[in-house]
Amino acid sequence: MHKEHPNISILKRFNPANPETLAEVLAKNFVWHYINPELSELEGDYFGLSGLTDFFQKIAGRTSGSFVVNPISIFPMGDELVITHVKDRLSLGGKPMEIDAVVVWCIIDGKIKEAWDITIVHTAKMIKTVKEKKL
């Protein structure tokens, strides 16, 4: 039987839509680093629970509420780091797309201390909507 890494268990409780859950898993001095040259107005550091909530509200506003994260893989790296690969689905300027991203998480003493959200914009794929698909 394979025991799940404790830091993966912590990340499974990370839910940006639920501030109560976030308060349980984030360190008080938590920092979210967002890196995306295509959304430079959102790039930067967001501090604490309020900063993270602010970031997700901004990205929801910028994407007309279409932003969805689809986890692909998760790898613990030693005792403090976890790397996740996700595919973000969103719509920018009415154009639906899918973008790969990597998030590097630093977890210390059972709390998420820092995260680096790195969007790979060079491989963004436009998604055809149901109306656009040809039968």
Give the type of residue at 28. Answer: K
* Structure token pair of residue 70: 């689809």
132 Cα distance to chain centroid: 28
What single DSSP character describes residue 13? T
Per the confidence metrics, is the pTM higher than 0.75? Answer: yes
Start-end of H helices in the chain: 6-12, 19-25, 48-62
Encode pLDDT of 45-93 as tens digits: 999 999 999 999 999 998 888 988 999 999 999 999 999 999 998 888 8
CA distance linking residue 43 with residue 51, whole number of Å: 13
Q: Which domains does the chain have, with CATH numbers?
A: 6-126 (3.10.450.50)
Encode pLDDT of 8-50 as tens digits: 999 999 988 887 888 899 999 999 999 988 788 999 999 999 9
